Amino acid sequence: MTARFWAGLDIGGSKTLAVLCDERGEVVAEAVRPTPATEGGESILDIAAGLVRSFGVTPAGIGVGAAGVVDPNTGTVLATGDSFTGWAGTAINAGLSARLGVPARAENDVRAFLLGEAAGLRNALGVTLGTGVGGALLVDGRLLRGRGAGEIGHVGAFGDEPCSCGQRGHLEAYASGRSLSRRYAARTGASLTAQEIAAAAEAGDAVAAAVYEEAGRHLGSAVAQAGGLLGLDLAILGGSVVASWPLLEKAVLRALEAQPLLSGTPVRIRLSRLGSRAVALGAVRLVRE
């Protein structure tokens, strides 16, 4: 029997990562390039296809986790954040199949993240905290694929902070990297990245610690409510902001303990185990489904 391989792509706003997996799901090759996010969908697909070609073998299929709202049936990008130009409207499945001659299947990147991280599980909530806050739901072994399903970043009425969606008080308005920067600047006048604020908090800056504490409190509350509604007792967290987990942990756990599930136990938290490969590995699972 000829060996079969599967490719997984993570197309993000700054970089595109490709992995090649063997039949057992082990990564046998990996490649990364900057995403030409402002050069339009065809350029983005050219780069993605080039990464797969660089592996030198034809995979049996290509899975894609892509930033933005992606139609799970057709793999067409329906909407994107402001880091992309011309990505909305791109037919990922058809475009990659045409370039590489094998089936391709695309899904939103947070959903792919959860597919990767939750391998072997039947129920889990996935939350990514980066530039924005994304979410995905695995219920009874199935990823919920309705439009907007899992958008935990845009629930909650935590206050008056403006959210990227145009409404106010959502989780993302407190817990995204951008929001941490905005909240810190509002109180201090200083313009720092979320990472720099974390470093300041570790060095004893009380305002920096407070914006993380607030993010953690609202994150815990949103996770507790989502878990309670859907019967999910595990949340898997990923994204750049989670690198500062020690600054979030106490507040998250306190909020979860204050709002336990009906069973009496709080939702458990697990941090990403696959790191930068989570989306690409989830995409491999997607195309093998």
Segment contacting Zn ion (CB under 5 A): 30-38, 96-104, 143-151, 156-164? 156-164
Nearest to 27 by CA among 61, 55, 68: 55
Give the pairing type, strands 69-70 and 61-66. Answer: unpaired
The smaller minimum CB distance to Zn ion, of residues 9 and 173, is found at: 173
Q: Is 163 in the site for Zn ion (CB under 5 A)?
A: yes
DSSP letter string, 177-224: HHHHHHHHHHHH-----HHHHHHHHHTT-HHHHHHHHHHHHHHHHHHH
The smaller minimum CB distance to Zn ion, of residues 105 and 170, is found at: 170
User: Total binding residues for Zn ion by CB under 5 A?
Assistant: 4
The secondary element (H helix, E strand) that includes residue 100 is: helix 92-100
For the chain, the distance separating the N- and C-terminal CA atoms, rounded to the nearest angstrom, is: 21
Considering only 28, 98, 119, 165, the residue that binds Zn ion (CB under 5 A) is 165
For the record, the structure tokens of 254 come out as: 């306190």
Burial class for 142, CB neighbours closer than 10 Å (0-12, 13-18, 19+): exposed
Q: Is 67 in the site for Zn ion (CB under 5 A)?
A: no
Q: Is 218 in the site for Zn ion (CB under 5 A)?
A: no
Q: How far is the CB of 124 from Zn ion (least distance, A)?
A: 23
Q: How far is the CB of 169 from Zn ion (least distance, A)?
A: 8
Q: Is 79 in the site for Zn ion (CB under 5 A)?
A: no
Sign of the C-alpha dihedral computed for residues 170, 174, 175 and 180 taken in this order: positive
Q: Is 277 in the site for Zn ion (CB under 5 A)?
A: no
Q: Is 285 in the site for Zn ion (CB under 5 A)?
A: no
- φ, ψ at 244 (rounded to 5°): -100, 35
Q: Is 222 in the site for Zn ion (CB under 5 A)?
A: no
Segment contacting Zn ion (CB under 5 A): 39-47, 53-61, 169-177, 220-228? 169-177
Q: Is 11 in the site for Zn ion (CB under 5 A)?
A: no
Segment contacting Zn ion (CB under 5 A): 118-126, 132-140, 158-166, 263-271? 158-166
Burial class for 56, CB neighbours closer than 10 Å (0-12, 13-18, 19+): exposed
The smaller minimum CB distance to Zn ion, of residues 115 and 175, is found at: 175
Query: In the stretch 170-209, what mask flags binding to Zn ion with x, by CB under 5 A?
Result: x---------------------------------------
Number of other CB atoms surrounding residue 132 within 10 Å: 23
Q: How far is the CB of 183 from Zn ion (least distance, A)?
A: 15
Q: Is 115 in the site for Zn ion (CB under 5 A)?
A: no
Q: How far is the CB of 44 from Zn ion (least distance, A)?
A: 25
CA distance 127 to 135: 4
Query: In the stretch 136-155, what mask flags binding to Zn ion with x, by CB under 5 A?
Result: ------------------x-
For the record, the structure tokens of 154 come out as: 């845009």
Give the pairing type, strands 61-66 and 124-129. Answer: unpaired
The smaller minimum CB distance to Zn ion, of residues 165 and 271, is found at: 165
Q: How far is the CB of 179 from Zn ion (least distance, A)?
A: 10
The site for Zn ion (CB under 5 A) is made up of 154, 163, 165, 170
